[in-house]
Chain A
């Protein structure tokens, strides 16, 4: 998932454990009050089947539920999947291609209607009817999805999703086994909505959900308000616990600087936005008790277009990797407390990650220093010296600073380099489209769910590249048939042997890194700055800070 989306690591590595301590005692003491949280701007449509931003995925956690869900728990336990609207995880049948979900009884939408089989069936159809951004990527494995992708409005997922009202079950049939189907069903794009929900983007009109809260008002120019769902009763503390504040006001419009000051003054409780660089030292000393820093399974990288000169030459791509001083980039991001240098695709702590860094002064497991001598030698061998190269970062401070730094590196390597920062609103789609002939860019990737394929297959798989499309997430245009075949084999193996699959992903990670389709820069950490009154801060690795699990009184 693109920036401001989700972080993660190995679901398989983590067992069921710490559940949010929404104990009765705490509830009695801290329940109530109004929380005020801030963001510079709104996150777009409020439709959970369409919105693809961390900003609202974070909010959806206490508003909507899927058949299954990621556990509402602190830290890496947040990667653990638990049954939610479904009573339990079904055992796969039909060679891993069929799952029968038994729907819980007594769960109510915030409009007072009970969740039924028809709601589940309609919701899965609606993913396609509203052309959810992940409909093709995540849910195309469902039988009938091909037809739905071609004709969304008449989607029925015939043969793919079958409801049985009498038995209270929904059967999902897949075209092939998919080891990640529960991860995908746990995402907000597959939450259960009332069957009569509009089959088009609802924009700023919130849809009823089943969570502890409901969105009572949403104005993208002003803010969003969440209040308690009057029909909510806890059915699973792990999937959907009760929350502490009575009301959450999410206000938009302040600048990042003003947001920090508001929190310092006790006028707000949290901000979504990155803390401005010039305020970091200040809050790190004056407000250090209000700061929470958490490692992310995310990746800052510089995709290099493997189909355009000079980066169609692997030696050039490797040279860039050797030349980059990753410590300098870490410092641009805020210093070693907030980021760590990396050379490979899979972030530390992720399934399949094995430390590997061939692009260092001392090649081995970890990056130590740049090797400019080696880099220059590779450029000489490539015969591309003197060519013109344009770097395309977005226009936010850190991204632009990384772009300017890369311009210096490329200039030192002998290229005629310039930087072309582009508005953040369009940069991500701009760099994907081959028509724009972007040679090298600056981008970030934050996991959708904890699986190696979400980095390697999504970012470097042949199927992720589409000529002339704004949705060609394989920005490098990298397509190695052998590596791609190994990815498909690892995906298939994951259905039966996740550990074996992860070993394969480690090898694939090395192969992609050796081919240098991108320059790995660093893994960021997340900084949350909260008010003094905010208690019980918990950071879920899947969906970040759990808003309603904190109290304000």
Chain B
């Protein structure tokens, strides 16, 4: 068989299959995916772990005792040396189901809270990512496609929003909303609800995604297939959904893990500052804050969620890079703020 014949017989892969094939060959990307999947699976098992360990990670158990090496010991230990100052939670026992990572200052099992906290952090990061991408896509498509006054107005709104330092804006919104909740028309979010950090984080990053989407749409708007569709009288909404959106979808997919990582860091920062997830709920940020006061005596309370955040964000960033390389090797999208 000649070489030419072989080429004509090869069945070409579709763009998605090609991308997945590229991703599968990216060892770092796959390792990140596996790591993220393991973290997610462990967090999803939080209720199972708590039930197995027989602990309630949201209730104070200051007077509780556990059996350790055959001895019954209190979860909170009174210092007996010197002046007898201080009352410390038990440290890591390294026995799964038995205060593996020790207790926090309310006598709660840190391991169980770590898993529940991860679940909350991932939930907020995921939901905020969906919110950000949805709003950014709408704004980017409309601004880029319609241009003119619509573009000027939307682009300037994005500029104004992006002119605020992200964390400063998020902290300001949180301080205002955490106390009284949020109410606009039929939409009511009570203070303390997880929807508040989701809403806040989701909003502050809209310009970060919308601006590159708008740029892409501006370019696509002038492409021949779009001009042809306009010339044929295809309605705008149909051009946006059928012709333009599919062409920006790879960019959106690349943004998913990157935004997840960014949102997770923002959530942790807000919760650490007491303006994100509210007690007794747990997130990795709140657990770090709980551990801050125990840094000298029980460092694992803060270290464990810190390590979890590092691993998770690392995995998501590497996965994001892998996806970008797989879906659009020529893309210039990089994480780093706008």
Contact = CB atoms under 8 A, between A and B. Distances in A.
Given A285-B82, A418-B192, A278 B87 contact: no
Contacts of A422: 179
B278 A280 contact: no
B60 A284 contact: no
B62 interface: yes
A256 to B, nearest CB: 10
Contact of B82 (A279, A288, A409, A418): A288
Contacts, number: 124
Given A281-B79, A421-B279, A325 B294 contact: no
Given A405-B106, A423-B175, A278 B280 contact: no
Given A404-B60, A408-B59, A335 B280 contact: no
A278 B278 contact: no
A363 interface: no
B269 interface: no
B96 to A, nearest CB: 25
Instruction: From B60, B81, B278, name the one whose CB has the most chain A CB atoms within 10 angstroms.
Output: B60
B136 to A, nearest CB: 31
Nearest to B84: A337
A276 B82 CA distance: 17
Contacts of B187: none
A408 B79 contact: no
A284 B83 contact: yes
Interface in A387-404: 390, 395, 397, 400-401, 403-404
B298 A418 contact: no
A545 to B, nearest CB: 18
A284 B86 contact: yes
Interface residues of B, number: 33
A105 interface: no
A284 B297 contact: no
A407 interface: yes
A281 B106 contact: no
B293 A397 contact: yes
Nearest to A395: B274
B60 A278 contact: no
A338 to B, nearest CB: 7
A420 B297 CA distance: 27
B85 A405 contact: no
A278 B297 CA distance: 5
Contacts of A277: 86-88, 105, 293-294
Interface stretch (A177-185, A207-215, A244-252, A326-334): A326-334
A262 interface: no
Interface in B66-115: 76, 78-79, 81-88, 105-106
Nearest to B83: A284
Interface string B286-330: 000000111111100000000000000000000000000000000
Contacts of A408: 59-60, 106, 280
A21 B84 CA distance: 30
B191 interface: yes
Nearest 4 Cβ contacts at the A-B interface = A284-B85, A280-B86, A285-B82, A281-B86
13 contacts: A278-B298, A280-B79, A280-B86, A285-B82, A286-B82, A325-B63, A331-B62, A331-B87, A335-B79, A337-B83, A337-B85, A397-B293, A421-B278
Given A278-B293, A331-B87, A420-B278, 19 more contacts: A277-B86, A278-B88, A278-B296, A284-B83, A285-B82, A285-B83, A288-B83, A328-B63, A332-B105, A334-B86, A335-B84, A337-B84, A390-B192, A395-B274, A400-B274, A404-B106, A405-B106, A420-B191, A423-B175
